[in-house]
Amino acid sequence: MKNSRRARAMEKGSRYGRKEKESAWQCAEVDALYRLAAAGLRVPQPYGFFEGVLLMEMVADADGDAAPRLADVDLMSEQAVEYHRMLIGQVVRMLCAGLVHGDLSEFNILISANGPVIIDLPQAVDAAGNNHAGRMLERDVENLANYLGQFAPELRGTDYGKEIWNLYEAGMLTPETPLTGRVEQSTELADVDAILKEIEDVRAEALRRQERLKAQDSGP
């Protein structure tokens, strides 16, 4: 388990204020790890602190070595699509547990023997209590599409972020909710124009009919 921020915290831990800040930061990560494990996500199990450094389960590859980062592996297009599907599933589960990662990228995803594992959670935000949570979720999901889209270009046009956030805000998101990767474009403005024109047409037609009837009544 290499973890440089936590290792740095130990080196610089002599100053009290700094240490306090680091431990609040680390507690946020431990909280997030427990919350996500309880929600059924595959995240490293935290073991506790050792001299200000958070110890956690090592995510391993098939040989039992520390798993590579997503950024370090070469992917076939089907594999990229599969990882994307699994990661979107994890992002959804995370949101259902009330959290947005906020720094999701190919550097904070490890490829374990059983597929991708999301790590590096100290900045995860409370989805309901943070005004930027929606934008952060969209950016996280966009990062996935852009990175994995290099291997599977069809992922680049997808818009799972907005779709997931809309469902979450409507109270309709569960880990089983089917997703399309597309968001219906709002046609509200165009519709208002069309409806106004329709009303205008109907009114004009009614007026013309009235004029015709009047003309017939007063006819010869």
Ligand X SMILES: Nc1ncnc2c1ncn2[C@@H]1O[C@H](COP(=O)(O)OP(=O)(O)OP(=O)(O)O)[C@@H](O)[C@H]1O
Catalytically annotated residues: 103, 120
User: Of the listed pieces 31-39, 115-123, 152-160, 184-192, which binds Mg ion according to CB under 5 A?
Assistant: 115-123
CB nearer ligand X, residue 105 or residue 166: 105
Query: How many helices (H) does the chain have, and how many strands (E)?
Result: 6, 6
Report yes or no: 119 and 94 within 8 Å, Cβ to Cβ: no
Stretch touching ligand X by CB under 6 A, among 34-42, 57-65, 80-88, 178-186: 57-65
Q: How many residues make contact with ligand X (CB under 6 A)?
A: 18
- Whole-angstrom distance, CA of residue 6 vs CA of residue 23: 10
User: Does 143 participate in binding Mg ion (rule CB under 5 A)?
Assistant: no
187 binding partner (options ligand X, Mg ion, none; Cβ < 5 to 8 Å by kind): none
Which token pair is 61? 């590859």
Here's the x/- map for Mg ion, 70-109, by CB under 5 A: it reads as --------------------------------------x-
Cα distances (Å, whole numbers) of residue 141 to 74, 81, 122, 148? 20, 14, 18, 11
CB-nearer residue toward ligand X: 92 or 110: 110
- Residue of the chain from 75, 80, 120, 181 that contacts ligand X (CB under 6 A): 120
Each as own residue / partner, the long-range contacts of residues 206-211 (CB below 8 Å, 24 or more positions apart, any chain) are none
Q: Which of 90, 108, 143, 158 touches ligand X (CB under 6 A)?
A: 108
Q: Based on the shown chain and the rule CB under 5 A, indicate whether residue 26 belongs to the binding site for Mg ion.
A: no
What would the DSSP string read from start to end of 11-60? Answer: HTTTSHHHHHHHHHHHHHHHHHHHHHHHTT---PPEEEEETTEEEEPPPB
Residue 142 CA to residue 76 CA, distance in Å, equals 20
Using CB under 6 A, list all residues that contact ligand X. 1-5, 44, 56-59, 66-67, 69, 107-108, 110, 119-120
Using CB under 5 A, list all residues that contact Mg ion. 108, 120
